């Protein structure tokens, strides 16, 4: 492990100096440091900043502090009641021990699990720009089918972020250029030809909170995750959805997918297609297909198209059934 | 001095349990050794080539950077993987090509990460293919069986049979991954070498390392071991590297493998490609069996997995053929992993039998019973005991098999397709020579000493039970010492033979002490063991699985797994259950989760950590149980016990794969069974 300095952040500006990186739960960053993939000069520990509150927003939304632990957010009664999709997504991730230390900010900014990225001895455009992308011809069963580029086919691995994308959440950021608010769907970039940059954040920008706006029909929302073992596995495909059905017609819908792209994938085209249509199985599948039309699978991950089509249909059907009861 | 209650068979709790759960038990890397330095292994970044130079960062705070250009020379031994830092030749990616030694682990690791290596890389080949021109037939397969056998005329049997099956199954590379990684602390005092080392065979490690360094006094301390599954059966490169670095630096040196290295330099289960052909009459009587297995080995060493050997004794058939085919690749050397040979071999055989049952429209249990042999079909040797049919029948009762609709994709509960499957289990019954010593101590207790190891199996506890009965005293009066190469020489904790081999020597020593009244006896079982036949000795069992397959996603979950075994006398009901269940869970990993994912361009399994290489987690193990028949066999060893450490992984994967077919109608012939292989074939809901 490269020698580094360690400091406790007292103000958000403490992350400013070159080579400094924020340390939250450390469950992703420290692993990458041991592997020699992350080599920060300075670790700025943000755990002492007062960022762990979960507060009510006017109108029924929530502000979740960037330091709030995944376990605490998942267990929060307001989250469970008003935004079950978020609680379910969190509980579907990692393990109890990890969730107890993992933070909201760290979870959003966790890096891809692409196996080449996690190995400094291998080429990878994300950890060593210009070195190539061996995943394209190599192991990519778990990687992206949407929005990828010739330089990178990595996926963002978070479950929580998929739920937040569906809920239309925003990220509050504090940095050298002041404060700004970024939609979760706009936080992560598509790889293009600069896959080394995961997000639109600038160096030194600290996430202070995530805001979930009021969304009354989200009390009927859910997260479904397909994975290779029953627990403690990243998604091979996941669906976050909320559905508002009136008289058998879709009044509104929120749909996002995980493990398919470099960012949590909000299925805007599918949502658009569904609004005002009958809440039927055939329509749900048709909507999924509209979104999946853009998919560009590789040799070993085309199964994700069928998987997402089936899961989306099943999840929306289940929500629609719930609405009828 | 007579006690009537027997210790053997009782469900005694592990005697070292409190030490382990309270954290007091010491594993190899945990011994406090003054002045210890840390070694970090530099793995080769290419699968094939030559290492021409190593340039260390001159500002780095390292004590030594060892490579073939500066390492002292070592004596060659049988295992070429132990000739570490002796040559410029790179034979696989991940091979140790340098060792960095520093005061701290972090400094050693960092220096290793930034070390400059000059390498002339060469073209490499890493993919096992049955049609590769380099495929050859070895002379023998492990541990010395003929590679091929032929009885009768299998081609004619196939050509004239009512029903035939011709299927190819494949299994991927599997990685032992014991919880405790391989680790060594080495310390020299003059020419005396002490190794705290995690292994399955302290006597063997001491002998090998002594030979390599040309010294007589090597003391290997292996008090507790966090699993091995075969990968610690002999000295591994970590032991040699630690001793080498300690010699060069004059400091004790600790070398602990990171998880990534556990996928290369300590062995793995070879991938296999297996073609099984069966010929049968309408009534299910087999007339022919052909089992041809392809596996790989390294450029360094011929390791020939005995994949098809199990087919030589499972079922009767007049015409039969088995064969093994090897391909040398620029890959690490495969080694033993829990039930080498039997585990992959029975996957193919027992799935093929299930496919035959489907074709015949016959119950798969009945089909197996129909082909029960009266003696070993190939050798003609009588079985010392075989209760396979009883395991199938009694197991079926316990599991609730009767009334099963044999047709696939019939049972649906909510979002799940449900299916059940069965497969046989077997493992050879073996024993090796060992020596044990017992002393009567003045306080009325007895000290039993043998250089055995306990990998977490319960071996220590069982030896106390065996000694107590042989001495005719209560187990509380027996003190056991194992895990040290200076104790009487014991055989390896492998081949499910530990209890039999060590128990034999312990029984001999204790009985003799009891009968002669002497206060110390050392007993060597070599002569007795070598007088034994080796054929016709097997444990048998049957595995039953019930799986759920998600009708939407194709995710597979095992809702019930049950094993019924006939494995001689069960020495300790509690630890035996742990062995059976552990094997079955590992079988579940083989069926559904485990796969070394090869990137042929890199020449490496790229998912080399436990986040990427999945083994079952608690949530995967729903209802799992093991039971056994009371089997008496007085021809195998004084305890009448058969090995039980491996049989649980033999056949359990096939039971699960067969259950997946029964649930969905989909035959997956390349392991592991995962949703991406199932999804497109799922029946319409
Ligand atoms: C074995 C394993 C299995 C896992 N399985 C899953 C899973 O199934 N699903 C899933 O979603 N996740 C999974 N995870 C990932 C886990 O959720 C993340 O590691 C965790 O959420 C990261 O949070 P952290 O607080 O520990 O982040 P850290 O590791 O501390 O930081 C991660 C990154 O975020 C940056 N950062 C942290 N906080 C801030 C902030 N406030 N502002 C700006 N930058 C910040 C850090 O600089 C760093 O770059 C798994 C992890 C492991 C190790
Ligand atoms: S997919 Fe992206 S992260 Fe993976 S190897 Fe390619 S560039 Fe690197």
Residue of minimum CA distance from atom 6 in ligand 2: A133
What is the distance in A from the centroid of ligand 2 to the CA of A134?
7
What is the distance in A from the centroid of ligand 2 to the CA of B83?
36
Point out the least confidently predicted range of A84-88, A174-178, B264-268, B445-449: A174-178
Within-domain flag for A77:
no
**What would the mean pLDDT of B472-491 be, rounded to a whole number?**
97
How many whole angstroms separate alpha carbon B197 and alpha carbon B34?
17
C-alpha of A313 from chain center: 21
Residue of minimum CA distance from atom 4 in ligand 1: A94
Same domain, B575 and B679: yes
Do B463 and B448 meet the contact criterion of CB atoms below 8 Å apart?
A: yes
- Checking if the pLDDT of A219 tops 90, the result is yes
Q: What CATH number corresponds to the domain at position B358? A: 3.30.365.10
Within-domain flag for A310:
yes
User: If we measure between CA atoms, which residue out of B244, B187, B186 comes closest to residue B214?
Assistant: B244
Closest ligand 1 atom to A31 CA: 53
Residue A16 confidence (pLDDT): 75
Same domain, B191 and B69: yes
With bands split at pLDDT 50, 70 and 90, how would you rate the model's confidence at A18?
A: confident
Same domain, B79 and B217: yes
Each residue of B142-162: pLDDT tens digit? Answer: 999 999 999 999 999 999 999
Each residue of B456-467: pLDDT tens digit? Answer: 999 999 999 999
User: If we measure between CA atoms, which residue out of B145, B231, B134 comes closest to residue B181?
Assistant: B231
Q: At what angle do helices B202-213 and B237-249 cross, to 10 degrees?
A: 50
How many whole angstroms separate alpha carbon B664 and alpha carbon B186?
54
- Checking if the pLDDT of B520 tops 50, the result is yes
Closest ligand 1 atom to A207 CA: 42
Domain boundary among B343, B373, B403: B373
Residue B61 confidence (pLDDT): 87
What is the distance in A from the centroid of ligand 1 to the CA of A122?
23
**What would the mean pLDDT of B503-507 be, rounded to a whole number?**
97
> What are the angstrom distances between the C-alpha of A203 and each of A174, A286, B446, B601?
11, 42, 69, 35
Can you give the residue range of the structural domain that contains B345? Answer: 125-175+268-373
Within-domain flag for A130:
no
Within-domain flag for B252:
yes
**What would the mean pLDDT of B426-437 be, rounded to a whole number?**
97
Each residue of B201-230: pLDDT tens digit? Answer: 999 999 999 999 999 999 999 999 999 999
Same domain, B137 and B250: no
Residue B515 confidence (pLDDT): 96
Window 524-553 of B: residues touching A by CB (8 A cutoff) are: 550, 552-553
Within-domain flag for B12:
no
Question: Bridge-partner residues for B273, per DSSP?
Answer: B170, B294
Bond prior to A319 in cis (omega within 30° of 0): no
Share of chain A above pLDDT 90, in %: 94
Window 404-443 of B: residues touching A by CB (8 A cutoff) are: 415
Domains identified in chain B, total number? 4
Same domain, B247 and B306: no
Q: Which of B117, B620, B676, B682 to mutate to test the interface with A (most CBs of A within 10 A)?
A: B676
Do A109 and A116 meet the contact criterion of CB atoms below 8 Å apart?
A: no
A128 class by beta-carbon count within 10 Å (0-12 exposed, 13-18 middle, 19+ buried): middle
Within-domain flag for A26:
no
Tokens of residue A236, six digits: 């091979």
Number of H helices, E strands in chain A: 11, 12
State the SS3 of A196-233. Answer: CCCECCCCCCEEEEEEECCCHHHHCEEEEEECCCCCCC
The residue to which tokens 């220590």 are assigned? B460
Residue of minimum CA distance from atom 8 in ligand 2: A124
Residue B1 confidence (pLDDT): 42
Task: Verify whether the Cβ–Cβ distance B680 to A122 is below 8 Å.
Answer: no
Between B110, B601, B609, which is nearest A2 by CB?
B110
Upper half-sphere CA count for residue B103 (Cβ side, 13 Å): 2
Task: Verify whether the Cβ–Cβ distance A119 to B606 is below 8 Å.
Answer: yes
Within-domain flag for B2:
no
Domain boundary among B231, B263, B295: B263
Question: Bridge-partner residues for B224, per DSSP?
Answer: B27
Within-domain flag for B405:
yes
Q: Which of B611, B618, B623, B666 to mutate to test the interface with A (most CBs of A within 10 A)?
A: B611
Question: Bridge-partner residues for B166, per DSSP?
Answer: B277
Residue A204 confidence (pLDDT): 92
Ligand 2 close to Cβ of residue A309 (< 6 A)? no
Can you give the residue range of the structural domain that contains A288? Answer: 221-324
User: If we measure between CA atoms, which residue out of B595, B224, B566, B205 comes closest to residue B389?
Assistant: B566
Domain boundary among B263, B292, B322: B263
Q: What CATH number corresponds to the domain at position A226? A: 3.30.390.50
Q: Which residues form the pocket of ligand 1, taking CB atoms under 6 Å from any ligand atom?
A: A 21-29, 46, 66, 93-94, 98, 101-103, 105-107, 109-110, 157-160, 206-207, 234; B 611
Partners of B550 on chain A (C-beta within 8 Å) are 226
Domains identified in chain A, total number? 1
Same domain, B255 and B278: no
Within-domain flag for B11:
no
Same domain, B414 and B328: no
Same domain, B83 and B115: yes
Do B100 and B40 meet the contact criterion of CB atoms below 8 Å apart?
A: yes
Q: CA angle, corner B286, sides to B282 and B291, nearest 5?
A: 130
Same domain, B73 and B200: yes
Contacts of B21 (CB under 8 A, 6+ apart): none
Task: Verify whether the Cβ–Cβ distance A228 to B674 is below 8 Å.
Answer: yes
Task: Verify whether the Cβ–Cβ distance B593 to A228 is below 8 Å.
Answer: yes
Ligand 2 close to Cβ of residue A114 (< 6 A)? yes
Same domain, B350 and B285: yes
Within-domain flag for A104:
no
Nearest chain A residue to B589 by CA distance is A229
Within-domain flag for A248:
yes
Q: Is B684 on the interface with A (CB under 8 A)?
A: no
Do A207 and A171 meet the contact criterion of CB atoms below 8 Å apart?
A: yes
Task: Verify whether the Cβ–Cβ distance A115 to B680 is below 8 Å.
Answer: no
User: If we measure between CA atoms, which residue out of B63, B73, B66, B59 comes closest to residue B36?
Assistant: B63
Query: Which ligand is nearest to the Cα of residue A226, counting in written order?
Result: 1
Within-domain flag for A1:
no
Query: Which ligand is nearest to the Cα of residue A202, counting in written order?
Result: 1
The answer to whether residue B447 is catalytic is: no
Judge if pTM exceeds 0.90: yes
User: If we measure between CA atoms, which residue out of B596, B494, B672 comes closest to residue B175?
Assistant: B596
Within-domain flag for B510:
yes
Between A139, A230, A232, which is nearest B599 by CB?
A139
B618 class by beta-carbon count within 10 Å (0-12 exposed, 13-18 middle, 19+ buried): exposed
Same domain, B331 and B472: no
Chain A nearest C-alpha distance from B480 (Å) = 37
Task: Verify whether the Cβ–Cβ distance A229 to B599 is below 8 Å.
Answer: no
Within-domain flag for A206:
no
Contacts of A27 (CB under 8 A, 6+ apart): A94, A98, A101, A102, A106
Same domain, B303 and B404: no
How many whole angstroms separate alpha carbon A298 and alpha carbon A303?
10
């Amino acid at each position: 492990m490269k020698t580094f300095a360690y400091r406790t952040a007292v103000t958000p500006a403490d992350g400013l100096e070159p080579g400094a990186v924020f340390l939250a739960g450390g469950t992703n960053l420290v692993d990458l440091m041991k592997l020699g993939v992350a080599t920060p000069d300075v670790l700025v520990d943000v755990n002492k900043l007062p960022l762990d509150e979960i507060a009510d927003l006017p109108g029924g939304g929530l502000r979740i502090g960037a330091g709030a632990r995944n376990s605490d957010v998942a267990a929060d009664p307001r989250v469970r009641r008003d935004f079950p999709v978020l609680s379910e997504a969190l509980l579907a991730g990692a393990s109890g021990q990890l969730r107890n230390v993992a933070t909201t900010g760290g979870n959003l900014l966790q890096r891809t699990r692409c196996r080449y990225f996690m190995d400094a001895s291998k080429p990878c455009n994300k950890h060593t720009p210009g070195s190539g992308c061996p995943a394209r011809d190599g192991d990519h069963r778990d990687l992206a089918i949407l929005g990828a580029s010739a330089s990178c086919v990595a996926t963002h691995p978070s479950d929580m972020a998929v739920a937040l994308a569906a809920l239309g959440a925003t990220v509050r950021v504090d940095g050298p250029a002041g404060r700004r608010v970024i939609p979760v769907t706009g936080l992560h970039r598509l790889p293009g030809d600069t896959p080394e940059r995961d997000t639109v954040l600038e160096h030194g920008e600290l996430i202070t909170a995530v805001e979930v706006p009021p969304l009354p029909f989200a009390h009927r929302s859910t997260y479904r995750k397909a994975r290779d073992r029953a627990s403690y596995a990243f998604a091979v495909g996941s669906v976050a959805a909320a559905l508002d059905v009136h008289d058998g017609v879709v009044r509104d819908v929120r749909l996002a997918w995980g493990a398919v792209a470099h960012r949590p994938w909000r299925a805007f085209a599918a949502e658009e297609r569904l609004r005002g249509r009958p809440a039927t199985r055939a329509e749900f599948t048709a909507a999924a297909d509209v979104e999946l039309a853009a998919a560009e699978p590789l040799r070993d991950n085309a199964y994700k198209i069928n998987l997402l089509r089936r899961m989306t249909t099943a999840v929306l059907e289940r929500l629609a059934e719930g609405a009828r009861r | 001095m007579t006690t009537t209650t027997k210790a053997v068979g009782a469900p005694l709790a592990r005697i070292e349990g409190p030490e382990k759960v309270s954290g007091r038990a010491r594993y190899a890397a945990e011994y406090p050794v003054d002045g210890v330095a840390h070694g970090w292994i530099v793995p080769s970044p290419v699968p094939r080539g030559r290492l021409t130079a190593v340039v260390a960062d001159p500002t780095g705070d390292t004590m030594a950077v060892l490579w073939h250009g500066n390492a002292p020379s070592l004596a060659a031994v049988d295992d070429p993987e132990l000739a570490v830092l002796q040559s410029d030749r790179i034979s696989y990616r991940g091979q140790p090509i340098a060792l960095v030694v520093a005061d701290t682990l972090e400094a050693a690791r960092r220096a290793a990460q930034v070390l400059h290596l000059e390498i002339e890389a060469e073209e490499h080949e890493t993919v096992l293919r049955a049609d590769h021109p380099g495929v050859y037939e070895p002379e023998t397969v492990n541990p010395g069986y003929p590679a091929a056998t032929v009885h009768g005329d299998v081609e004619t049997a196939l050509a004239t049979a009512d029903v035939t099956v011709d299927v190819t199954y494949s299994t991927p590379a599997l990685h032992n991954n014991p919880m405790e990684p391989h680790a060594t602390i080495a310390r020299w005092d003059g020419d005396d070498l002490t190794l705290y080392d995690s292994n399955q065979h302290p006597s063997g490690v001491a002998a090998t390392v002594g030979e390599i360094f040309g010294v007589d006094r090597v003391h290997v301390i292996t008090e507790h071991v966090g699993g091995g599954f075969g990968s610690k059966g002999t000295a591994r490169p970590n032991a040699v590297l630690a001793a080498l670095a300690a010699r060069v630096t004059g400091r004790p040196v600790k070398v602990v493998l990171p998880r990534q290295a556990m996928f290369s330099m300590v062995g793995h289960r070879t991938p296999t490609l297996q073609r099984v052909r069966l010929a049968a009459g309408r009534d299910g009587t087999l007339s022919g069996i052909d089992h041809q297995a392809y596996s790989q080995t390294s450029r360094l060493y011929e390791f020939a997995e005995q994949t098809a050997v199990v087919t030589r004794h499972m079922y009767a058939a007049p015409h039969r053929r088995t064969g093994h085919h090897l391909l040398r690749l620029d890959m690490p050397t495969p080694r033993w992993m829990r039930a080498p040979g039997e585990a992959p071999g029975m996957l193919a055989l027992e799935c093929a039998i299930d496919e035959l049952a489907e074709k015949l429209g016959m119950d798969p249990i009945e089909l197996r019973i129909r082909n029960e042999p009266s003696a070993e079909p190939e050798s003609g040797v009588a079985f010392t005991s075989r209760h396979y049919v009883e395991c199938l029948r009694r197991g079926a009762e316990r599991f609730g098999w009767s009334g099963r609709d044999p047709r696939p994709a019939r049972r649906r509960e909510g979002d799940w397709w449900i299916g059940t499957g069965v497969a046989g289990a077997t493992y050879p019954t073996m024993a090796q020579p060992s020596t044990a010593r017992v002393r009567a101590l003045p306080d009325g207790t007895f000290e039993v000493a043998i250089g055995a190891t306990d990998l977490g199996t319960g071996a220590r506890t069982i030896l106390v039970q065996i000694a107590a009965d042989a001495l005719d005293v209560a187990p509380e009066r027996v003190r056991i010492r194992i895990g040290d190469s200076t104790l009487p020489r014991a055989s390896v904790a492998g081949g499910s033979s530990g209890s039999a081999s060590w128990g034999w020597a312990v029984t001999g020593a204790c009985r003799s002490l009891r009968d002669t009244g002497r206060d110390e006896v050392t007993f060597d079982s070599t002569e007795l063991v070598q007088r034994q036949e080796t054929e016709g000795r097997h444990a048998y069992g049957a595995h039953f699985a019930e799986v759920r397959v998600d009708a939407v996603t194709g995710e597979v979950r095992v809702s019930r797994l049950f094993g019924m075994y006939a494995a001689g006398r069960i020495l300790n009901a509690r630890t035996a259950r742990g062995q059976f269940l552990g094997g079955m869970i590992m079988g579940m990993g083989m069926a559904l989760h485990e796969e070394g994912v090869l990137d042929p361009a890199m020449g490496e399994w790229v998912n080399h950590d436990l986040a990427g290489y999945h083994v079952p987690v608690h949530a995967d193990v729903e209802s799992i149980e093991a039971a056994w028949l009371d089997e008496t066999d007085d021809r195998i060893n004084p305890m009448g016990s058969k090995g039980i450490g491996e049989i649980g992984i033999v056949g359990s994967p096939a039971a699960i794969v067969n259950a997946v077919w029964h649930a969905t109608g989909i035959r997956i012939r390349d392991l592991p069974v995962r949703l991406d292989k199932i999804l497109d074939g799922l029946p319409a809901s």
